[in-house]
Structure 1
Amino acid sequence: MEIRILGPVDIWRDGRSTAIVGLKQRTLLAVMVMHANRVVSHDRLLTALWGAKAPATGRRLLHNHLWSLRRLLAEGDAVESTPTGYLLRLRPGASDLDVFVTETARARSALSEGDTAQAAERFRTALSLWRGPALGGTHPELQSTEGAALEELRLAALIGRIEADLALGRHPELIGELRLLVGEHPLNEELRGQLMRALHRAGRTAEALEEFRAGRLHFRDELGLDPGEELTRVHQAILSGEAAATGNSGGNGENAPGTAIAAPVPAAPGSPVPRQLPADVTRFTGRVEKLRRLDMLLSEEEGTATVVISAIAGTAGVGKTALATHWGHRVAARFPDGQLYVNLHGYSRGRATTGAQALDRLLRGLGVVDDEIPHDVDERAGLYRSLLAHRRMLIVLDNAATPEQVRPLLPGSSPSRVVITSRDALRGLSVTHDVRGIVLDVLPADEATALLNKLLGRNGTDDETDPVPELARLCGYLPLALRLAAAQLAGEPASRIGDFIAKLRQENRLTVLELREDPGTGVRSALELSYRSLPEPARRTLRLLSVHPGPDIDLQAVAALTAMSAEDASAAVESLLNAHLLQRDGDGRLSMHDLVRVYAGERNEADDSAADRDGALTRMLDWYQYAVLKAMEHLSSDDSASMTITPVDDGIPDLPGVDEAMAWLERERHVLIAVIVHAAERDRHIHAWQTAALLSWFFYAKNHFDDLFMTGEVGLSSARRIGHRHGEAEILSDLGYAKMFTGRYAEHLSHQQQALDIWRAVKDRRGEAKGLRHVSYALQLAGRPIEAIEVGERCLALSRELGDRTGEFTALDNLAISYHVAGRYEEALEALSKCHGYWREEGREYDEAYCLIQMGAVHTKLGDLTTALDCFEKALPLGRSQGNLRIEVDVFNGIAVVLRHQGSHAEALDHHEKALALARTLRSRPLEGELLSSLGETCLASGDSRAALEHYQEAAVYADEADDAYQRGFAYAGLGSALHALGRPDDAAKHWRTAFDILSPMDLPEAGVIAERMRAAGLT
């Protein structure tokens, strides 16, 4: 466990952030950490939480907060009570502040002893702990005082790190950073002096002297003073040429392109630094001038630099990614916060990586966990820019297609750097961003020859009979073609090179000169030779792999696609791997370079019949659809009665249980999405809608709503294209529930009504019953409980008429929820009791758990708290056995409400915290809003009216976002109660009236409660 306050305050445990609920909890934790292992007085803590206006019950409330904090830390003796205050015992390194102080002390010690390399490394480790302004999410007063003091410590460490870098001779690359820092801290003489020294040592003495002159003018204008003694001494040293300003610092000095600049800085303890660059290219050769250009751009750029690496005429295989990767490894030490890498697949056959997908991967690389990644693309981009604002990272965006694809992925104001590779010059990007273009051509003849010699393990000669220069020429000097040719010749005697060249001349009439007009020619020639050397099963496998639309594939899918046995498919794949026509990652998944895929497609068109291609496509779609069906059998009780799915005899993944099924679906998620899209594009609409419908529950359960919306729309379009009305209704209903969970209740109701209309139109009475059930639930969520009951009762009658027992009890279960909301508690309890018996008989643990939760909620309303608690406690293990976090959320919140009614407020708050922490992993803002209202009510009951007000305000925002009238009414009612408790009767009346106006038309009992509160307060 690590407590982190150098940025947003949180607790890092088991590789993920633990949510800390409420401003006061975060403030309290921050104060205790800043004074760890020392007693903090009661008065100091009360002031931190409430300022000068601590409530009369402050000591008791403080004790409650600390009790919750002790539970959060999961260490019973971490927080200790003393007669004068409280003490937080932390072991060394348990907080990022402690690590920061320790590392900076060691760095200064190393600097004083002359070990500048170690000093620079330790300073970087310390600074990498900062994730933004210190004490984020705490009381503003604490941030402005203690936070400012911590920021001074950070600046002092930064100055120390720069001092060490200057001593190591890293002058040019420091100039841009120092200019930014001087701009932010114009009165800081240490930073200005460092900038002057860096400029002078980089041979830019005139600029160094101008920097002194500008500083002197600024000091006089702002302070009426001249620069201090130290800055004046630096100025004089530069004028006189003293060693302090101009001599060799004893560091490593400048590095020539192609040599390592420095070893990467290790990650700070407990704070993993992403190192996502692909492995450096083996035997990288040449590109000296381009490497020098990149080095210059890094050193000279003062703002955010975006470097575009492109190739003329859209040449593929020219080595753009190799250059970016190699350079990134060379300069890794200049990016202490790490490197991020995303392949945008701009020129892949399948769909390019979208902005949402790229931001998802980048945010994960920055340590953001699932539940913290926003759904909205703009919100993702904003979070991404915020996280990069104070980090110095290298971001490589590989294979970009258009400026529009790249723009959302660029940092805002940040010391980070971005390298983009593209077949296009991306000139449009220069209109909106400061872009420095580097045009990458094929290798010069001498560098291409040198690369081939390295790859072949030969020493180059100047002998005119040496065949390697001619081989390089025939390969078009294209790095990919050179490497493929070398792969063909690996282990062969030198005499084979001549034979190889003869084949190039005889079997392919394209020449290097023609390469300028047709950039793919050189690659095609080399690939042709690789292809012809393969055994026929491997050739056929390569051709048929071009049918596969996903980014990668596993061996079982290869066997299905090719109709080969697993053993034969494995042998063919090994041949392709040996010929460098396939790549295999650490998980055994196989992928092809873009150009190899294009070539494979050409061979498929030329060598295979339309029937062969059609057969491969059918086998692939059947295999994935059936594999999904078998996986979903472990996860969902929904049947596939309206689907026509072809069984696959063998080769389906072995998925014995829920965990294995979920893992396989997650592993194949991006492939399955591509398969659905590809099926629709190839007019295989039955496969498209059925696979989309089968996957909807998985996407829903795992909160992959972007994927659900995209595949759902594709599936819906396919169902409509072929007039499959059942499919259309199924997917409309699935999309409706996704919209419900993301807070779009009106769209949810619209989708369910459309689905119901279709089932009625096709005279599917079971479908109609299902549609009535879904519409009833949607009406209830839309704040229309009376209509929900009416529709639900029709659904129940139809299910009974059809003799559908499961449908009957599902309808009754849903109807009970509407009875509950409408205040018809006895009817709700009677219905739920019947449902509970049925679900338990049928072994339907998921449905039984939700039934128990509803029973617990109704018993709570009726005041039978013992029975309510028993219901919730029985539901919890059932939910956990299903791996369903939503059940756990509802259980913890239900128990919290029971504890509130029992007066056990501290325990209630603990359960609220558990519920909220789990809810945030589900990324449902409407659910969070509902829980915040419940938490506000408990805070109000405990006497913490200010905390209640904060929670109700947040809940109101969430309800407004979702257009959830029901929850909006509860939030405004709570706001009225909190404001009344705080002595603001006029404001309270305004919010109560708003709540009454919202809830009264729904004919809910809560409207009467609000009216009674207003009468009691004399506000009617």
Structure 2
Amino acid sequence: MHFRLLGHLEVVASNGSLIEFSGPLGRAIVARLILAEGRPVQSETLIDELWGERAARNPVNALQVQMTKLRTSFAARGEEGRLEMRSGGYRLVLSEHDRIDIVEFENHIRRGRETLGQGNYSEAEEGLRDALALWRGPALQDMTGFVFDAARTRLEELRLTAHEDAVTAGMKLGKAEQLVAELSHLVAAHPLRERSRGRLMLALYHCGRQAEALDVFRDGRNLLDSELGLTPSPELDALHVAILSHDPTLGGPGGLPGDTQQVPRKTQGNLAVPLGAFVGRADMLRSLREEIGRQRLVTTVGPGGVGKTRLTLEALSQLGDDAGVWWIDLVTVGKDGVLSALAAALGLSESSVTADQRPLNPLERIVSYLRERKAILAFDNCEHVLDETAFVVKKLLETCPSATVVATSREPLNTAGEVLFPVEPMAPEEAAQLFALRASMINPSFDQDTAKDLEVIELCRRLDGIPLAVELAAAHVRLLSVPEIDRRLNDRFALLVKGERTAPQRHRTLRAVLDWSYALLSTSEQLVLGELALRVAGCAVEDAEKAVLPHSESEPESEPEDTAGPLLVLGQLVDKSLVFTVRTADGTRFQMLETVREYALAKLEAEGNLPPAQDRFIAWSLGFVRQGHKGMPSPEQAYWSRRVAEESANPLHERLSGSPSVLAVFC
């Protein structure tokens, strides 16, 4: 029998007669079973996929009725036993002599691409043309339902790529002039498909019609811009430049045509030169360059606004040019979008699949492109897509031996071979230089020598040396003096809001930067962050663990990470660059930047969790005072002297003015 789905459904019996099926539902069942290629399809699946909104009082019984009618249709043409019930479903019984046009189509394409890759262009063109000849109209014509829509989309894409490959083979045989009309129709039918457009440009060029080839590029560029707001892919852009310059790799008009995929890029990579002067951090910059040269996976980590992206851009822009550097901005990427962003940065759209390749999925296409290349891939802003980024990075490092990965994130990727490069806030003196430079750009009358003024240095110290905060503060110099800016830092989140219009939304204000980090925390992490924020001078590990316990024990139904041990929750806050550790003679202490601490307290208060947190903190403080009172006259006097000094800045009631410190109460 012959089963045809590349057009209207046709089933031809062994005797050559056409089998007729009554009703669209019966035809849909036959088509669905043909797609299964002899495998059973469960009754429930058939009902879900094919009945849809059709009303049926008893769909199981309705399916049985349809199957009875279909068996009758097959039997009427001498094809008894073609439909059988198996494992709770139905299957189409096939023999070795049966033919399915979809299977034949895919086999022709596979053989055609294999011969094309081997340089046998004549045989390749013939095989691919035979594949296209199997189509009698749109695939699965008149069939409705999501299962048919998915199959139709796949088959139409295969048809397009087969058509493009057949054209490529024809061009290799010197048929450019005969193929111009065919390619023109193909581009008209699929105007956003760059692979077809590139082949039309090349065909026109080999016919001596360079101006028309350039017009085809210009039309495509305008269409992409007006329809999608995009620019042409690097491959199409490189072909455009090659045609303009009569690049000899194209073969020249009238010569043997080249392959559009072999046109070299104008430059390797897509790294843009950072705008503006890079201020300070010379040692950190040198260390990062050295680390990238030694390691295959380097992740710059630090709190939001600390300058991870700018530092990484500067380091990569100063590397040698023996490796291509590709920058992959993940700031707007959602879940499952990392691969697409990487493919787009590399210019590996569907149009970049070469003629000797089968259609590859995005990861296979990326690996195929990078496997033999020396490349540096820089993934920026990974913290919200850590799982997928880690998976992609692991795969790339395993399969592409010459690839190096650099990532920027507020949290480590936690994958094999990762080397962390912490990016810390700027020293007040360096931050003052940045403030003066930005201020002079906004207000030319601002003297850059004021970077040495103690007022500017103190302002930058209060801003925690966070470059983004420094630049946001500098934006006010046209209106306010440095002392006036400093006085308004008590409400820094209302003040620091004048970010660049072109910056991502979450990088335009200081509050937006912290909102982004806070949203990525679990509920317990948010509460613990607020609890720790009550401690101006930070706290010891043991005290921090006690602050975590009320939250880790009171939320048994939250996510698994919320019920983790106290030390793990604290470690997660450190990993996410919201808390940092300081080594002391008596062990580790947890501390926060003042900006983060003020934000966490504001969130704690806004969410109504401040009073109970204050009560717990007061209880701890009083207990600490009692312990210290006993410890001072004991042999452990030296230890308790240091402990009291460490806790001296912690007020008993942070939000009440005039609140005494732990040291004051102790005294």
Higher helix share: 1
Report the TM-score, using the length of structure 1 for normalisation. 0.25
